């Protein structure tokens, strides 16, 4: 038997950038996850999951060795293969799809919601452990159909949370179209990647630094800024995408924005980010088309498009807009309201019946609670049941007589045999 | 922009001892988690969560340095504090309770269900990543009330999964009572820990090895084996516990078993394990009283009792007993059945209406799907809707005329304006 260290400590804290969720905080997260899940299912996605950690090379093959400093990586004690906590789910999804590509439906529509981990310095809206929701459509030969269905699911979630087209904006771009337009604006083919990187980094650069870097790759910034969005909108893909989104009722939500390139190297076509309209907070969601990734993980060439949304920024935006429901509303939505609180009239014989009655109600599938207060003041005990927001309070007097009171309507029935209490409060 | 490694690989696999969950496998896990959640809530527990990894010393303070070889531990890149993936949740729970002990209700009843990680060699019923359900009652001064309520919740889950007292057995013991009886059977006080360890390890030892070890601490094995269970049952705590469980209707499920000691050093009183009745498989669940732990983590002296149950062994037992519902039953229970599949009669004008109709149904909160098949054979498309187990199929002919067919009753309505389809299929 190992001996616990003798030094007790009052200073244990959650690691930097992680969170403790007490019941109220967790219910708020569950509210968001419930909206994610319901939206995913309504849009025809099926849920999958994979390991919390993967072989480290699953991440370096996609993002290069440079990603290692952003990962929590480790070996098993005594040495073995190297692992890393997932910084995102897409590599796992690509691995899972690639290994069963031949037997999976076309398209395959998957959603996923679990935690991700990044070894960065925590900032507002960016933690080391956070919950992420992903939706992906893989293997649909109609890119337009998949892109619009995916965008519809993302906007559908925002709508389901009470957000409007005035609160948030979905900024859409297309890496291929932007590359074409960078070339029209003077950038040579070998500098295209640098051009995309520069557009992606622009918001964090001084305008002088940006102009200097742009001129080094011969990018005509004035031309690009005035005409690129128009060019993208007027491209064949752009016209079709926006007219389809209009037919879905979502044209108010979307705008072309050539500044959206998404930092990750693997996007190949349409890319998008969702932002709070005034520019407050980080991106709420982001995604795009990654047609080369399944093949990189050993599968057949497969078109694919997906997005991710984290819980942290979405929560901040919902709170800022007053759209996070009250704790009572969340409890109702999650089915946390007690069906009954069982108390006794204080006699020993009645008190003896509380435990068996609770057991019978719970066995019948009801959410039944007792009071843990020591008082025998029935009025106070009923107030305790009201405070717990129970639908009913059951006051046991004897095996033949309990009072069953509906706390919503105040209707009460006296003299109910204890064995029949469950039938009285069944929904 | 970092450059992805050029070498593609067809050999990416999930790490040893972890699992990929495709939709059907994940639905089976969600079925178990749904039962866990519903049972916890019905018994008055509230859900909490904490970080997936903790400071390494959170685990060594409780279990000693010996635990490090069983952990996935790591540092942030560039060095910093040491972390470890949680092998269990109890240290996090104790830390969270200790840091808010003064403002939490008495008792506090918490449940938790997330993944845990152990760097051991995987075996049947024991993986490196698995899902765990914990229920804990902290700060109830009535140990009898808390112990029986906790056992009732654990047995309530087994019942809710369709298991009976003939399928599984809840083996209960009490470390204090067993220690008393070890002393009656010859063991001196300084050897008590060794005696408990020996009882815990007995099932894995040859009877000769056990007898030799027992004799080295002067344990009279014959006396212990014939009388310890009877002694425990007749102890004051034993009598009360069993009579309370009988009044809850659970006496058939439980038995005294002095061989149950639980390997972990921190249990202080009642301990229990749930086993498949024939002894097949590892323990389904285990737990007990740990009255010293909250104080060890910096809180006030606090009575506490809890148990954990993993998904792996429970799933094996349910499958063995034929108690895992069919995939269709699980889909119904989890609300995964589509409300409608929307198709067109194949004309361009009707096909154009599929996407807006889908968007409208989804916006109204319905689970709406389309067909991705290229056929225009309506019979085949309807069969596809049947295969997806949709409640309705919607066949669009024109903006003024859609056929809405209930696939359960075969009742159909023709000539429904497309704008009114949602109203027709609303639950």
The verdict on a CB contact (< 8 Å) between A15 and B66 is no
Order the strands of the B82-85 sheet from edge to edge. Answer: B53-55, B82-85, B73-75
Whether residue B314 contacts residue B161, with contact meaning beta carbons closer than 8 Å, is answered with yes
Q: What is the mean pLDDT of residues A322-348?
A: 96
Order the strands of the B392-398 sheet from edge to edge. Answer: B368-370, B340-344, B392-398, B401-406, B412-416
Looking at chain A, the whole-number percentage of residues with pLDDT higher than 70 is 96
- In the structure, what pLDDT confidence band is assigned to residue B5 with cuts at 50, 70 and 90? very low
Q: What is the pLDDT of residues B51-82, one digit of tens each?
A: 999 999 999 887 777 788 889 988 876 666 79
- In the structure, what pLDDT confidence band is assigned to residue B1 with cuts at 50, 70 and 90? very low
A21 → chain B, closest CA residue: B49
The verdict on a CB contact (< 8 Å) between B10 and A98 is yes
Q: What is the pLDDT of residues B381-390, one digit of tens each?
A: 999 999 999 9
Label residue B337 exposed, middle or buried (CB < 10 Å: 0-12, 13-18, 19+).
middle
Q: Give the minimum alpha-carbon distance from A358 to chain B in angstroms, rounded to a whole number.
A: 8
**Contact list, B19 vs chain A (CB under 8 Å):** 50-51
CA pair distance A206, A220, nearest whole angstrom? 17
Q: Give the minimum alpha-carbon distance from A329 to chain B in angstroms, rounded to a whole number.
A: 16
A41 → chain B, closest CA residue: B367
The verdict on a CB contact (< 8 Å) between A44 and B3 is no
B148 → chain A, closest CA residue: A355
CA pair distance A214, A210, nearest whole angstrom? 6
Q: At B70, is the secondary structure helix, strand, or coil? A: helix
- In the structure, what pLDDT confidence band is assigned to residue A197 with cuts at 50, 70 and 90? confident
The verdict on a CB contact (< 8 Å) between B85 and A152 is no
The verdict on a CB contact (< 8 Å) between B63 and A107 is no
B341 → chain A, closest CA residue: A44
B10 → chain A, closest CA residue: A298
**Partner residue opposite A8 with nearest CB, options B152, B295, B368:** B295
Whether residue A11 contacts residue A56, with contact meaning beta carbons closer than 8 Å, is answered with no
The verdict on a CB contact (< 8 Å) between A298 and B8 is yes
**Partner residue opposite B49 with nearest CB, options A26, A67, A140:** A26
Q: Give the minimum alpha-carbon distance from B94 to chain A in angstroms, rounded to a whole number.
A: 10
Whether the upstream peptide bond of residue B107 has omega within 30° of 0, thus cis, is yes
Closest CA to B183 of B138, B231, B148: B231
Q: Give the minimum alpha-carbon distance from A88 to chain B in angstroms, rounded to a whole number.
A: 15
Q: What is the pLDDT of residues A364-394, one digit of tens each?
A: 999 999 999 888 899 999 999 999 999 999 9
Please name the residue that has the structure tokens 């439980």.
B254
Q: How many CB pairs under 8 A join A and B?
A: 306
Label residue A9 exposed, middle or buried (CB < 10 Å: 0-12, 13-18, 19+).
middle
Q: What does the block give as tokens for A177?
A: 């179209």
Give B123's DSSP letter: B
**Contact list, B98 vs chain A (CB under 8 Å):** 10, 12
> Judging by DSSP bridges, how do beta strands A304-310 and A285-289 pair with one another?
antiparallel
Phi, then psi, of B390 in degrees rounded to 5: -70, 150
Q: Give the minimum alpha-carbon distance from B139 to chain A in angstroms, rounded to a whole number.
A: 11
Task: Specify the pLDDT at position A264.
Answer: 65
Task: Specify the pLDDT at position B11.
Answer: 65
The verdict on a CB contact (< 8 Å) between A368 and B247 is no
ipTM here: 0.94
The verdict on a CB contact (< 8 Å) between B95 and A12 is yes
The verdict on a CB contact (< 8 Å) between B68 and A50 is no
């Amino acid at each position: 038997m190992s001996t616990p260290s003798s030094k007790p400590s009052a200073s244990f804290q959650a690691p930097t950038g992680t969170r403790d969720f007490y019941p109220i905080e967790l219910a708020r997260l569950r509210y968001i996850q419930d909206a994610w899940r319901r939206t995913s299912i309504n849009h025809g996605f099926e849920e999958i999951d994979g390991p919390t950690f993967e072989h480290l090379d699953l991440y370096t093959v996609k993002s290069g060795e440079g990603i290692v400093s952003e990962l929590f990586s480790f070996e098993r004690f005594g040495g073995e293969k190297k692992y890393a906590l997932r910084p995102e789910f897409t590599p796992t999804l690509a691995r899972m799809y690639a290994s069963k590509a031949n037997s999976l439906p076309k398209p395959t529509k998957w959603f996923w919601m679990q935690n991700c981990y990044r070894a960065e310095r925590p900032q507002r809206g960016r933690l080391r452990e956070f919950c992420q929701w992903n939706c992906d459509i893989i293997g649909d030969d109609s890119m337009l159909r998949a892109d619009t269905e995916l965008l519809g699911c993302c906007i559908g979630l925002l709508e389901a949370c009470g957000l409007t087209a005035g609160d948030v904006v979905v900024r859409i771009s297309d890496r291929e179209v932007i590359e074409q337009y960078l070339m029209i604006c003077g950038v040579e083919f070998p500098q295209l990647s640098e051009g995309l990187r520069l557009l992606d980094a622009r918001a964090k650069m001084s305008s002088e630094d940006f102009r200097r870097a742009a001129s080094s790759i011969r990018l005509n910034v004035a031309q690009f800024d005035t005409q690129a969005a128009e060019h993208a909108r007027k491209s064949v893909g752009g016209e079709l995408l926006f007219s389809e989104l209009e037919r879905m009722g979502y044209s108010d939500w979307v705008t072309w924005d050539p500044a959206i390139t998404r930092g990750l190297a693997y996007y190949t076509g349409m890319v998008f980010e969702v932002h709070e309209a005034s520019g407050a907070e980080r991106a709420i969601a982001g995604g795009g088309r990654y047609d080369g990734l399944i093949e990189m993980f050993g599968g057949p060439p497969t078109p694919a498009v997906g997005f991710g949304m984290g819980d942290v920024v979405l929560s901040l935006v919902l709170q800022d807009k007053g759209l996070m429901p009250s704790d009572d509303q969340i409890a109702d939505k999650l089915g946390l309201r007690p069906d009954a609180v069982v108390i006794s009239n204080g006699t020993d014989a009645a008190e003896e019946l509380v435990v068996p009655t609770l057991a019978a109600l719970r066995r019948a599938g009801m959410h039944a609670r007792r009071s843990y207060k020591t008082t025998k003041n029935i009025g106070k005990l009923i107030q305790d049941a009201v405070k717990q927001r129970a639908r009913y309070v059951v006051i046991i007097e004897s095996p033949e007589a309990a009072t069953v009171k509906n706390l919503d309507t105040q209707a009460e029935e006296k003299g109910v045999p204890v064995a029949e209490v469950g039938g009285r409060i069944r929904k």
